[in-house]
Amino acid sequence: MAVARAEPQGWQARLELGFAERSGRTRLAHKRQFGPLTVQRPFYPEGGVCHCYLLHPPGGVVGGDRLEVAVQVGGGAHALITTPGAAKFYRSAGPRAEQVQRLMVAADGVLEWFPQENILFSGANLRLHTAVELAAGARFLGWEIQCLGRPAVAERFAVGQADLRLDVRRDGVPLLLERLWLDHGAGLDGPTGLRGYPLTATLLATGAAAGDLAAVRTHAGAAEILWGATLVGDLLVVRALAQGSEPVHRLFTALWGLLRPRLIGRPACAPRIWST
């Protein structure tokens, strides 16, 4: 009699974070974790804004891993979340890896979401889904950066599958629904694809107006980046294609420095981890 073989299982991890305003300072009021996902203790380099560094101690994601992050920012709270390094999605022997991020912001709350890039190794099989759920009056600034393959060693994402989704909704109404489906190199090239660029990135900012869009468009950028900006209602969307992550980080950090005072009334205060 044949014996069924169990599906290989990887890390199963979930992290819940809840931020609340307490006496003029945002506190990490709720933290619940299962598996290898956590945060360092909060930092307060600019007074009441809570800076948190999201950690995944194994250092990489393989087939069969499932990581879930749920962030809730309460009314009047202001949290900035980043990561100490790039997330690496390694070649899979078959099973799919999943990373799901649900970011919820209440009315008058602010969330800034600035993870380092995701690096998709050739042969990876993964699903990445980031869902931003905003109440009326909530504010969000954030980015997602996807590096398809490892351009530093001339590796393309020519083998493997990736389902990359980014959703933004306000009171349940879609503001932006994006999906990039990569199947063994399909979509990497061509004028309607990624034009051969290995890195694709999106920056988002809510509460923007025509003047903010005009200010962004006057930024010089860099010759090695193909980028553009548009306004969808009050959602400012900047998209970029590049040969590597460093020019995109420089561009997005500069645009954040331009937009943050305009949209949330604070000068940019870069997390200390970005300087290490």
Strands 25-34, 12-22: parallel, antiparallel or unpaired by DSSP?
Answer: antiparallel
When pLDDT is averaged across residues 163-184 and rounded to a whole number, the result is 96
Confidence class for position 1, pLDDT limits 50, 70, 90: very low
pLDDT digits (tens, 9 = 90+) for 61-89: 999 999 999 999 999 999 999 999 999 99
Report whether pLDDT(8) > 80: no
Report whether pLDDT(5) > 50: no
pLDDT digits (tens, 9 = 90+) for 220-244: 877 889 999 999 999 999 999 999 9
Confidence class for position 2, pLDDT limits 50, 70, 90: very low
Q: What's residue 208's pLDDT?
A: 98
Q: What's residue 223's pLDDT?
A: 81
CA distance to 27, 54, 91, 234, 260, per residue, from 134 (Å): 20, 21, 34, 13, 18
> Going by C-beta distance under 8 Å and a sequence separation of 6 or more, which residues neighbour residue 84?
53, 55, 116, 273, 276
When pLDDT is averaged across residues 166-192 and rounded to a whole number, the result is 91
Q: What's the one-letter identity of residue 130?
A: T
The DSSP secondary-structure symbol of 94 reads: S
Q: What is the pTM of this model?
A: 0.94
